[in-house]
């Protein structure tokens, strides 16, 4: 049985990408706002839901160029600025971009092609990969799992035993317009899609359904439609 056979039914919920245009969201997909919760040292720890955003019923469009005057929604500014939204991200995962880290009681995979450097895998005095090596300790193993499950991009996944399916957090089918907390203040983060909602490129090619994925909404990513963290250099508002 394939991993796809184990995924929950998504009904008519789906996201299609318009060529050099927005994300078109269909199927009454809930749209919410989430903000990073950070430590007193600025370390990302978890997410808090701030509320739901009102959408236009069954279908709505979300900005991809980063210049809309009514973010997160599209106002067709992409047409005025000649936005180049060429999608370069791989539609399927690749073993070339995936690294595996094995601890005493934890196996962690890191897919660099999905990573947008959200920072959940680091603390000021250690990082996830040091903790994995000490995962025979229950407290450290629990901390590592929490770090992985809060990673919005889905770049990090884990197994307890070799050969089992990756363990994923139970996340709702929704899109979150996110805010990240940085040393200089809050900035607009990517669109965080959860719950295996199908995403289709502008040429009709589907991406492999994922439980967690982050989509670029600043227009600057070099791995469109996926976020690569470029919004942080731009200080996206």
The span from the CA of 64 to the CA of 216, in Å, is: 7
pLDDT band at 5 (very low <50, low <70, confident <90, very high): very low
Looking only at the bridges linking them, the beta strands covering 31-38 and 174-182 are parallel
Q: pLDDT tens digits for 148-204? A: 999 999 999 999 998 899 999 999 999 999 999 999 999 999 999 999 999 999 999
The separation between CA 17 and the C-alpha centre of its own chain, rounded to angstroms, equals: 16
For the entire predicted model, the pTM comes to: 0.91
pLDDT band at 98 (very low <50, low <70, confident <90, very high): confident
The span from the CA of 138 to the CA of 221, in Å, is: 38
The first and second tokens of residue 117, run together, are: 């450097």
Sheet containing 174-182: order of strands: 44-52, 31-38, 174-182, 185-194, 212-215
Instruction: Sketch the domain layout of the chain as residue ranges.
Output: 4-91+170-234, 95-159
Q: pLDDT tens digits for 106-152? A: 999 999 999 999 999 999 999 999 999 999 999 999 999 999 999 99
CA count, 13 A, side-chain hemisphere, 222? 2
Buried b or exposed e, range 183-197, using 16+ CB within 10 angstroms: eeeebbbbbbbbbbb
Q: Looking at residue 117, what is its pLDDT?
A: 95
């Amino acid at each position: 049985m394939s991993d796809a056979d184990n995924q929950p039914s998504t009904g008519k919920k789906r996201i299609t990408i318009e060529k050099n245009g927005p994300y078109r969201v269909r199927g009454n997909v809930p749209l919410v706002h989430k903000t990073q919760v950070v430590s007193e040292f600025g370390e990302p720890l978890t997410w808090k839901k701030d509320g739901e955003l009102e959408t236009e019923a069954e279908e709505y469009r979300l900005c991809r160029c980063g210049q809309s005057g009514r973010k997160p929604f599209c106002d067709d500014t992409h047409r005025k600025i000649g936005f180049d939204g060429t999608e370069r991200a791989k539609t399927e995962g690749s073993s070339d971009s995936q690294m595996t880290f094995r601890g005493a009681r934890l196996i962690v995979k890191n897919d660099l092609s999905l990573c947008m450097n959200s920072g959940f895998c680091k603390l000021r005095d250690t990082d996830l990969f040091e903790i994995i090596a000490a995962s025979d300790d229950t407290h450290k193993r629990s901390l590592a799992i929490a770090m992985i499950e809060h990673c919005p991009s889905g770049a990090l996944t884990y197994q307890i035993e070799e050969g089992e399916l990756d363990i994923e957090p139970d996340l709702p089918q929704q899109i979150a317009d996110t805010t990240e907390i940085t040393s200089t203040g809050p900035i607009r983060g990517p669109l965080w899609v959860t719950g295996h909602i199908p995403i289709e490129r502008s040429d009709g090619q589907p991406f492999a359904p994922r439980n967690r994925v982050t989509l670029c909404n600043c227009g600057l990513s070099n791995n469109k439609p996926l976020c690569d963290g470029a919004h942080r250099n731009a200080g996206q508002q």
